[in-house]
Amino acid sequence: ETGVTQTPRHLVMGMTNKKSLKCEQHLGHNAMYWYKQSAKKPLELMFVYSLEERVENNSVPSRFSPECPNSSHLFLHLHTLQPEDSALYLCASSQGQGLAIHEQFFGPGTRLTVL
| Footprint of another protein (CB under 8 A) | 2, 4, 41-45, 48, 55-56, 90, 92, 98-109
Q: In whole angstroms, how close is the CB of 44 to another protein at the nearest point?
A: 7
Cβ closest to another protein, residue 35 vs residue 64:
35
Q: Are strands 10-13 and 110-114 parallel, antiparallel or unpaired?
A: parallel
Q: In whole angstroms, how close is the CB of 10 to another protein at the nearest point?
A: 13
Spell out the residues 6+ positions from residue 94 whose beta carbon is closer than 8 angstroms to its own: 29, 30, 31, 33, 100, 101, 102, 103, 104, 105
Torsion sign, CA atoms 6, 34, 51, 97? positive
Q: In whole angstroms, how close is the CB of 36 to another protein at the nearest point?
A: 11
CA angle centred on 6, ends 114 and 4, rounded to 5°: 145
Cβ closest to another protein, residue 78 vs residue 90:
90
Cβ closest to another protein, residue 18 vs residue 54:
54
